Copies of this chain bind each other. A is one copy, B any other.
């Protein structure tokens, strides 16, 4: 796919032992060797601080291998171009900064390499900062061959950023940033003082690993600039980076400044788009946007003046609207700095669009966003697909974009047809400007060689199968010793659990034979999810009759106490009966501050429940935060439920999330909501489907629209006589 001319840097410090050495020693310095005249090996924070204070050009301070806890690591020094000051790991990957550690750089010509941040989180706003404080910035400095993994504040709403570039002429390359879960972009470039503008930074060959859905604004992977300084030139080059499943929110990259270049990057299965949100004159070229058919994968969203998008490959992208393969926005006339500036002079040239869902033109057109694109061109692009339907959608007059010499095998809209050559079946697809292997970068060419990149296996796979028999606390014991991906198989019989079970990894629990296993529990919650906790249950008959006399029991609950995670719950072929001890008994409840990627219920039955079985309404602050991305209820039955069957709350008016989704299909509901509560309450959901359900003594679903352009499908719902009924009542709170 890729034939980048640059050689990949191979760093081979290698041979030093992994143990801690306290006396100065010589380590292999690899690529840095020629510019180092003195080495100081340090093994305590005090030793480091002394060495840093005394550092001279050509020095290399070597951190001894081992775990450095709670290390407020500051390198504030003046190197020179020919003799930088280095901060190196004794052995790359063997120097771990954990607990509450961070790194700040200030001065000139500094080089940092080989560190790993994990098992902790920053006590500051940043993990790696190219400044010591607002006065003392870094220039001509480089961070390379460094890892930050899962270095998350245990409180999801505590905001921080892993890497922040200030100053000028800095380089961030061959690093690995993976698994950010808490609020705040993974990486930003700031322009908040004059000597951070026109910065000429180079961000390249980094591996941006999976960033799961955050469930709110604040999940960008890279942001350059802010609206406040967006008319300033940044001049950052973002090159040959691999964005792997970076799906935190609608903006993978949020470009908020001028004169940047995004070249040769790969965006793989990443939700959202590279968004040219603010600022002018940015170039996007030679990138690969490969959605691999994953939901909401998009390409480039264009706003502002003088943007160039050329020679990119957009492939297998499923996103629509704000998340299309290409989105050209309408602007706001005389826009304030934080709204939408008109697209003017966009050049969209020589790109290939292969199997993409949509190309959205004039997106966002409404009474406010009425300024159509002007002075723009769409030329020499190729648009091919195997579906009959063209991906182009026009939301306004697109006469300000000149379409010419494009090729497609899908009949374009009439307004654009002059600009296309329509290919017939069997025609070869012309190569307009370049060969396919010049798009993007290989994953293996990014990041570091010594730290594994996360794979894409299902969390419920890859473990052992453990068979257990009935009795007291058998499940507690089994899960206490389980490993991620394990499957616990229950032999026929009655299981009772007197303890709550903390679930902090993915685990499957299933009946050896459906219908032969009964399960009861004595605590407020049987399962308490935190961290990587995920549960797949199947074939169990669960009774609530042994639960304590306590308001608000829930079979499964999440908790912030074990740290953040994106949870999954699957309930297949389950039955739940008599969850009526006291009020407000639930099946799955989300605590405020926790998040479920997916709760999926299939072919299951629920009978006699005193509360809301699926309760995801803990985020009442209207900050745009919510508790569940997908709630799927299919082919199931609910009977005698005092609350609504489900409650989802997503407040706030920002448009930065794709969810929540609620899909309720093929299910039967009888006597729900004590005859007055709705079947479900979906406040602020973005995508709902209520289809082919039967409603008996049940009110329609209540859907409250608060923001965005939600997708809504509801059809085929019937009453007890098989007559069609409306299963949805909608209230629209948008202005």
Contact = CB atoms under 8 A, between A and B. Distances in A.
Interface of A: 100, 123-125, 133, 154-155, 157-159, 183, 226, 472, 498-500, 522-525, 548-552, 559-561, 583-584, 591-593, 618, 620-621, 623-624
Contacts of A158: 500, 523-525
B618 A592 contact: yes
Contacts of A524: 157-159
A665 B604 CA distance: 57
A500 B123 contact: yes
A133 B471 CA distance: 13
Contacts of A525: 158
A133 to B, nearest CB: 8
A523 B125 contact: yes
B124 A522 contact: yes
A183 B123 CA distance: 32
B552 A124 contact: no
Contact of A560 (B552, B561, B618): B561
A551 B155 CA distance: 15
A552 B621 contact: yes
Nearest to A496: B133
Contacts of A154: 561
Contacts of A549: 226
Contact of A125 (B157, B498, B561): B498
A575 B561 CA distance: 34
Contacts of A548: 125, 159
A136 to B, nearest CB: 12
Given A560-B561, A620-B620, A550 B183 contact: yes
A591 B125 CA distance: 21
Contact of A551 (B123, B559, B623): B623
A584 B621 CA distance: 9
A551 B622 CA distance: 10
Query: Helix, strand, loop or mixed for chain A's interface?
Result: loop
Nearest to A589: B621
A137 to B, nearest CB: 16
B561 A123 contact: no
Contacts of A155: 559, 561
A219 to B, nearest CB: 13
A500 B121 CA distance: 12
Contacts of A500: 123, 158
Contacts of A498: 123-125
B159 A623 contact: no
Contact of A584 (B133, B523, B559, B623): B623
B157 A552 contact: yes
A277 to B, nearest CB: 15
Contacts of A523: 124-125, 158
A647 to B, nearest CB: 11
Given A155-B559, A559-B155, A499 B124 contact: yes
A45 to B, nearest CB: 14
Contacts of A157: 524, 552
Smallest CB-CB A-B distances: 6 pairs: A123-B499, A159-B550, A551-B623, A592-B592, A124-B498, A620-B620
A500 to B, nearest CB: 7
A534 to B, nearest CB: 21
Nearest to A552: B623
Contacts of A583: 623
Contacts of A472: 133
A548 B192 CA distance: 14
17 contacts: A100-B499, A123-B499, A123-B500, A124-B498, A124-B522, A125-B522, A155-B561, A157-B524, A158-B500, A158-B523, A158-B524, A159-B550, A183-B550, A560-B561, A583-B623, A591-B592, A620-B620
A593 B584 CA distance: 17
A123 B500 CA distance: 7
A550 B623 CA distance: 10
A227 to B, nearest CB: 11
A583 B159 CA distance: 15
Contacts of A183: 550
Contacts of A551: 623-624
A551 B624 CA distance: 10
Contacts of A591: 592-593
A133 B159 CA distance: 47
Nearest to A525: B158
A382 B592 CA distance: 54
A591 B593 CA distance: 10
A472 B132 CA distance: 12
A38 B498 CA distance: 34
A618 B624 CA distance: 16
A620 B620 CA distance: 8
Contacts of A124: 498-499, 522-523
Contacts of A123: 498-500
A620 B681 CA distance: 16
A25 B552 CA distance: 50
Nearest to A228: B549
Contact of A561 (B100, B522, B561): B561
Nearest to A502: B123
